[in-house]
Chain A
Amino acid sequence: MKMIRAIVRPETADNVTEGLAEAGFYSMTKMSVFGRGKQKGLTVGNVHYDELPKVLIIIVVEDKSVDEVMKVIQYKAYTGGEGDGKIFVSPVEQVRTVRTGSNEL
């Protein structure tokens, strides 16, 4: 299993979650975060914003679905501008469902 953490713009977050739902991936967690990338934030006129609002989406899937999920997220979150976001993939060794105690997703 892999954990996919995608940092996307708040404006595209709904597109991403709907796109994932259409592709059959419903289970996910999302949260509002602040961050910056290589561009070190954004300067508008006199004001420099060094932390920009983003949405972090966490989705854990079987290894075979990772490529599809990454493709959907990248396609739905893309605008072409800097600040579109990043996707990280990390391993998950075990999973437990609290309601049943089972070891499956």
Chain B
Amino acid sequence: MKEIIAMIRPSKMNATKKSLDELNVPSVTAIPVLGRGNQRGINTILAGIEVSKDVLAKAHITGMKFVPKRMLVIVAKDEEVEIIVDAIIKSNKTGYIGDGKIFICPTDNALKVRTKESGDAAL
């Protein structure tokens, strides 16, 4: 089994949940996080956002060092990983910076608390 960790935009949560529901792999944990990637957050100058001189002088604002995101954690059977990853990319790809990243990590085991089942039966 694998743990799929996906950092996505908060505004894409509903679309992502819907596409996972449609695939019948709805189990997910979502956490609000702060993050940044290769573009180092949001820089107003690079993004072409106009900030008035007064604001800059008072607050030294040049952008956001960390941007709010949602971290999705999905533990899935090996054979389901590809369709889940494809569904996440399809629901989240806008082509703009900040679409997110997906990490796929190995998981040794899982246990269902209600029934004590482990292995794939727990998922």
A18 to B, closest residue via Cβ: B65
Asked whether B10 is an interface residue with its Cβ less than 8 Å from the other chain, the reply is no
Asked whether B123 is an interface residue with its Cβ less than 8 Å from the other chain, the reply is no
A28 CB contacts on chain B under 8 angstroms: 35-36
A97 to B, closest residue via Cβ: B101
CA distance A17 to B40 in the complex (A): 11
If A91-B105, A97-B101 touch, whether A29 touches B34 (CB-CB below 8 Å) is yes
If A29-B34, A101-B89 touch, whether A95 touches B96 (CB-CB below 8 Å) is no
Number of residues on chain A facing chain B (CB within 8 A): 21
If A98-B8, A101-B93 touch, whether A29 touches B104 (CB-CB below 8 Å) is no
Contact of B105 among A27, A90, A98 (CB under 8 A): A90
Interface size for chain B: under 10, 10 to 19, 20 to 34, or 35 or more residues?
35 or more
Interface 0/1 of B67-97, CB less than 8 Å to A: 0010100000000000001001100111111
B88 to A, closest residue via Cβ: A98
Asked whether A93 is an interface residue with its Cβ less than 8 Å from the other chain, the reply is yes
A96 to chain B, nearest CB (A): 4
A14 to B, closest residue via Cβ: B65
A31 CB contacts on chain B under 8 angstroms: 31-34, 71
**B96 engages A99 (CB within 8 Å):** yes
Spell out B's residues near A (CB within 8 Å): 2, 5-8, 31-38, 40, 65-66, 69, 71, 85, 88-89, 92-106
- 7 A-B pairs with least C-beta separation: A29-B35, A99-B99, A98-B99, A94-B104, A96-B102, A31-B33, A98-B100
Apart from the given pairs A95-B103, A96-B89, A101-B89, 4 other A-B contacts in the complex at a CB distance below 8 Å? A26-B37, A27-B36, A95-B102, A99-B97
A-B contact pairs, 10 of them (CB 8 A): A29-B34, A31-B31, A31-B32, A31-B34, A90-B105, A96-B101, A98-B101, A99-B97, A99-B99, A101-B89
